[in-house]
Every structure is written in structure tokens, then in C-alpha cells.
Homo-oligomer: A and B are copies of this chain.
Amino acid sequence: MLTAGTDLPQAMTRVAEVVESALETLLPSVEGAEARLVEAMRYATLGGGKRLRAFLVMQSAALFSVSETCAARVAASIEMLHAYSLVHDDLPAMDDDDLRRGKPSTHKAFDEATAILAGDALQARAFEVLAEPDTHSDPQARCELVAALGAAAGARGMAGGQMIDMQAEGKTLDGPAVTRLQALKTGRLIQFSAEAGAILGRAPMQQRHLLAAYGRDLGAAFQIADDLLDVEGSTAEIGKTQGKDAASGKATMVAVLGIDMARAHADMLARQAAAHLDGFGEKSALLKALAAFVVERRN
């Protein structure tokens, strides 16, 4: 069924290399008084993370034979947007986390003001890269990418989800409320990553919707797996402070359903995600394998 599973780690490593190289090109070090800001942007973005979102872009773009160079720019752009969100989430006024990807958070490695500005500048750069001609020959495609990323990142997306999450601390949310919170906070950007390939490939709307549905279910499964790791993993394994979400009373599906039920729910979502791609045939094998991977991972 998910026979491509054995190729997945290799494919993910390759995408991580391709996106790292794109990020190096798109975020070069600079001379001058603003050098410190650019170093903080690079610190927050380069050399880290699973590059899940980049992988979704590259693989969904491959379904439509999009040029890898174009897809890598979109992948890098989404990774910049994601990195900015982590930098701001880790700030003392937000989740107050000193550790990220096994390294000091950006505000610890630099300072709070630099971290705020680095996040802000990463967001601006992400949109700038999407809008530049090298990203796609058709400006209509570039506009769709910008508008969709803006919606995914904003008040009805990632930022809105983070707001709900902060307000929920110490309160008890029910299942539907937690599902919506997570769908906004992490789901929308993961969904957009999967959709991006269809936008780049000028695919029919129906195929774009299938990839969006895949991304939505995958994102939900991924978030539950992440919350399970927070409860069960060690700090060394997950590269951020373990047990922190549970300790601060964060609203998660693990808290709502319990560990076993949450795991079963994540598995169901992963299978559902893969099923959306049945119509794409063998070409979607890696994306299907990814769905299985996100609920099995241990870091």
C-alpha cells in the first residue's frame, strides 16, 4: 500500500537540501548596520527542522511536473513564514520558550527586539519571493500564491489560531474547539503547502481541492502526533522543551481524548489524508507515505 515508505527518508533529506540551498540564496548575509538582523533571520531559518512544509510543496508540485527551481522558491518562502511564526511564538510575551530545534531560541541567541524584527522581516521576504518573476512565469499564479499564503498566515489562519491558543491556556476546550484551534494555528499553513503545487501547476480546481483536503487531514494528524510527542518524548529527542504544553494547560486533542484515543484519531486522519490522493495514482506515493510517517515519527 504505502510501498514508497522506504524511499521517504531519502526523499525528505533531498528536499531538505534543496530548500536549504534555496534559503541560502534567498537570504544572503549582508554588510552594513543591518547585518545583525539578517544574521538573526538566517539563524531562525537555516539548518533546521524537518522541512515538512517544503516537502509538501515540492512533492505536490512534482505531481504537475512543475520546475523544481520554481517549487523550491515557494518551499523556501513557506519555510521563512513558518520560521517567523516560531520566532514570535517563542518570545517571552508568547509561549516563552528558550529552546527550538535543539538550539537557543532566536530571542535567546540574539535579543527580543532583534527576534521581533527578524520575524517581521522574514514574513515580508516570504511574500516578496512569491511575487518575484522567478517564482512562476505567470503572474496570476504568483498572485494566487501570495493571496493564499496571506489568508493562511493571518487572523483567520495561523495568527488567529495562536491567539485562540493563548486565550485557551488554563481553560478546558472541547474537541471541536481544539480541532478548530489547531486547524488555524498549524493546519492552514500545512494545507497551503500541499495546495501550492496545484497553484504552481495551474491544476484544475478539483485537483487543488483534493490536495487541500489532503493537507488539512495531514496537518491535523501531524498536530496530534506533535502533542503526543510533547507528552511522551524526551526534550533531547524533540529539540524543544518537553512536557511544556501539558504543564501550561495548552488545549490539545491529547488532553481532550487521552493518549490512546488521540493516537487512534491521528491514525484515522492519516489514512483519510492518503485516500484523498487515490486519483493521482503512483505519482502520489511519497505524499501518501508521508501521511503514515507523520503519525509514526518519534521526533
Q: Give CA–CA (A117, B154) in the complex, Å.
A: 9
Q: Is A67 an interface residue (CB 8 A)?
A: no
Scan A71-90; emit 1 where CB is below 8 A from any B CB, else 0.
00000000000001100100
CB-CB under 8 A from A249, the residues of chain B are none
List 18 A–B pairs whose Cβ atoms lie within 8 Å, in order of A's numbering: A30-B155, A30-B156, A34-B160, A36-B167, A37-B159, A88-B116, A93-B116, A114-B163, A117-B162, A117-B166, A120-B159, A121-B155, A124-B149, A124-B159, A125-B150, A125-B155, A127-B127, A142-B146
Q: Give CA–CA (A120, B151) in the complex, Å.
A: 12
Size bin of chain A's contact surface: 35 or more
Scan A103-115; emit 1 where CB is below 8 A from any B CB, else 0.
0000000011110
Q: Which of A128-136, A219-227, A238-246 is the interface stretch?
A: A128-136
| Chain A residues with a Cβ under 8 A of chain B | 30, 33-34, 36-38, 41, 84-85, 88, 91, 93-94, 111-114, 116-117, 119-121, 123-125, 127-133, 138-140, 142-144, 146-147, 149-151, 153-157, 159-164, 166-168, 177, 180-181, 184
A121 touches B160 (CB 8 A): yes
